[in-house]
Homo-oligomer: A and B are copies of this chain.
Amino acid sequence: MASEQEHLHAGQSSATSSTDRLVISVDAMGGDRGPAAVVAGCALSVQSDPRVDIILHGDKAALEPLVAREPALAGRLSVVHADRAVTMDDKPSHVMRHGKDTSMWSAITALKSGEASAAVSCGNTGALMAVSMLQLRRMDGVNRPAIACLWPARGRHGFNTMLDVGADIKAEAVDLLAYAIMGVTYFRNGFGEPRPRVGLLNVGTEEHKGRAEIKAAHELIARHQETGRYEYVGFVEGSDIPSDRVDVIVTDGFTGNIALKTGEGTAKLVGDFLRESFKSGPLAMLGALLARGALKRLSTRIDPRRVNGGVFLGLNGTVVKSHGSADATGIAAAIGLAAKLAQSGYRGRMAERLVIAAQSSQAAEPNGDTA
């Protein structure tokens, strides 16, 4: 049981059980680079995975010429027209009330109806979460859905996962427990790790530090190691996020979003400083030329496009949020992640564990021990 590999249980996913095809619903609009980058990303994905078909949502007049230019998309992509696009400035609440004619809404509708097994958008994160929650609804036992990201790390899988990185600005102890269970299921399916290690992000590793909800979550997460099939390593600090101490880092969406963007900003700063250093003189330039293979590998290893895609966890459907500034490579990575998740059937097991955890943590309130 401890070595179960949930990604083998493809039959659990109702959306993929009736066919070998993996249909991904893609919002063509709302990214910083416009629909051309999205269409190019679709072309890369169908070439790299023969099972993937795409339903593309957006302005038909703009999309059809772009699609016609990509021979790889012939017979693999259909366009669904949407009059409008959600912009980065639209308020989520406004989109929920007045956004039915947007490409984002249409992309999630195709997932809800079962036409597609996963959805991808690089638009406004808040609006995408709001529209997804409204149409797909939360899984039982989930109060707050979360966005999980992958983070380049030292461990043997090369990545850790962190959640929530921006679905909600707040999380109570029971939400943090649900994040642990959801993050573990996601990591296990992504990397085949039977018993991922969970850490709770805090300002110090001593047990007396931190906020009240974090102390309460510390107890809850420790108590549910068997339910969630994880090993709880306790509190971790910001410096542990890319470490080999932990696989899944649990935090609220405010802190997680700040940490994610701080990490991205720092990696970019160091990369820019490195490039500037290599231009500082002829010897340095020659050195960079000789080491260009090694530098390319480094840049691939920390390239955010390789891990493009925040996954929405805790909804009745798989939604991947691509980075707003993603190019074709980044879009293709997000579609690839959506396809991988769609066929893994991870949501079935996750649902069972969330319900068990929610019941036992409610029964144990405020400080009992029924687990």
Nearest Cβ in chain B — how far from A199, in angstroms? Answer: 13
A42-63 Cβ-contact flags toward B at 8 Å (1 or 0): 0000000000000000000000
Bound CA span A239–B265, Å:
4
Separation of A292 and B277 alpha carbons in the complex (Å): 10
Given contacts A242-B266, A265-B239, contact A208 B91 (CB under 8 A): yes
Check A269 against B169 for contact (C-beta < 8 Å).
Answer: no
Tell which of A7-15, A188-196, A296-304 binds the partner: A296-304
Complex contact B203–A166 (CB within 8 A) = yes
Contacts of A80 in B (CB 8 A): none
Contact of A294 among B166, B211, B254, B284 (CB under 8 A): B284
Residue of B166, B262, B289, B293 near A259 (CB, 8 A) is: B262
Annotate A302-317 by CB proximity to B: 1 below 8 A, 0 otherwise. 1000000000000000
Q: Smallest CB–CB gap between A272 and chain B, Å?
A: 8
1/0 per residue, CB under 8 A from B, across A236-270: the answer is: 01111111000000010111011111111111111
- Asked whether A293 lies within 8 Å of B283 as measured between CB atoms, the reply is yes
- Roughly how many angstroms separate A337 CA and B154 CA in the complex, as a whole number? 34
Given A257-B238, A277-B298, check contact A265 B243 (CB 8 Å). yes
When the two chains form the complex, which single residue of B126, B204, B291 contacts A278, counting CB atoms closer than 8 Å?
A: B291
The chain B residue sitting closest to A264, CB to CB, is: B239
Tell me the complex Cα distance, A206–B272, Å: 27
Cβ of A207 to closest chain B Cβ, rounded Å? 10
Which B residues lie within 8 Å of A293 (CB)?
280-281, 283-284
CA distance A270 to B261 in the complex (A): 15
Q: Give 13 A-B pairs besides A274-B298, A290-B290 with Cβ atoms closer than 8 angstroms.
A: A169-B209, A201-B258, A238-B265, A241-B262, A259-B262, A263-B266, A273-B302, A277-B291, A277-B294, A277-B297, A280-B297, A287-B287, A291-B291
**22 A-B residue pairings within 8 Å (CB atoms):** A89-B206, A154-B269, A169-B203, A170-B211, A203-B253, A203-B254, A238-B257, A238-B260, A240-B265, A241-B265, A242-B269, A243-B265, A258-B259, A262-B266, A267-B270, A270-B270, A277-B294, A280-B294, A283-B290, A284-B294, A287-B291, A288-B291
